[in-house]
Amino acid sequence: MSRMKKIGLGVLIVLTGIQFIKPASNENGQALPSDISTTISIPSNVQLILQTACYDCHSNNTNYPWYASIQPMGWLLNNHIKDGKKELNFSEFGSYSLRRQLSKLKSIASQVKDDEMPLASYTMLHRKARLTKEQKALITDWAQNTKDNLEQIKP
């Protein structure tokens, strides 16, 4: 066997092997009692943007693309989701302390306004997650107003 063939075979074996190591999928189905929608009112147009542009990494329900079942892509996605949920998880938002909810709303507004979120690497492959100027304004206004309202009821 030539050197090239050996290398090719090696790559094939490794690629096949890693397909069997699958991360647990982030799909919960039903809404948890701690879901943001149970405590905070979200207009349907805002909800739609959150779902298409944020929930893949910031909730317990990822809408997986086809390549997620191919490794190592699946591992990469899994890590992004893990990091994303650690920062902000809309499915658990209601269980955050009021102080943390306020911090998160502030960060949502500033991250979207500064074009830090959604991540460029994500919108590259998810065209629907590319936010127009109007969509960005919808999100930042909603987050800001919700924060202002919550602050008023804060003891």
Partner 1 sequence: MKTLIMIAVAAISFSACNNNDNQPNETTATSGDTAKTGMQSATTVTNSNMAINNMVKAYLELKNALANDNSKDAATAGSEMQKAVENADPATFSADQKKIFADVKDDAIEHAEHIAANASNIAHQREHFETLSKDLYDMVKVFGTGQTLYQTHCPMYNNNKGANWLSETKDIKNPYLGAKMSTCGEVKEELKQRP
Judged by the rule CB under 8 A, the positions of this chain that interact with partner 1 are 3, 6-7, 9-11, 13-15, 18, 71-72, 75-76, 79, 83, 96-100, 102-103, 106-107, 110
- Residue closer to partner 1, measured from CB, 61 or 103: 103
113, 140 contact by CB (below 8 A): yes
Within 10 angstroms of residue 73's Cβ, the number of other Cβ atoms is 13
- Residue closer to partner 1, measured from CB, 116 or 128: 116
130, 141 contact by CB (below 8 A): no
Minimal distance, residue 3 CB to partner 1, in Å: 7
Minimal distance, residue 128 CB to partner 1, in Å: 24
Side-chain-side CA neighbours of 92 within 13 Å: the count stands at 14
- Residue closer to partner 1, measured from CB, 30 or 125: 125
Minimal distance, residue 111 CB to partner 1, in Å: 9
Q: CA-to-CA distance for 26 and 14, rounded, in angstroms? A: 25
Angle, helices 133-153/44-53, rounded to nearest 10 degrees: 110
Minimal distance, residue 13 CB to partner 1, in Å: 8
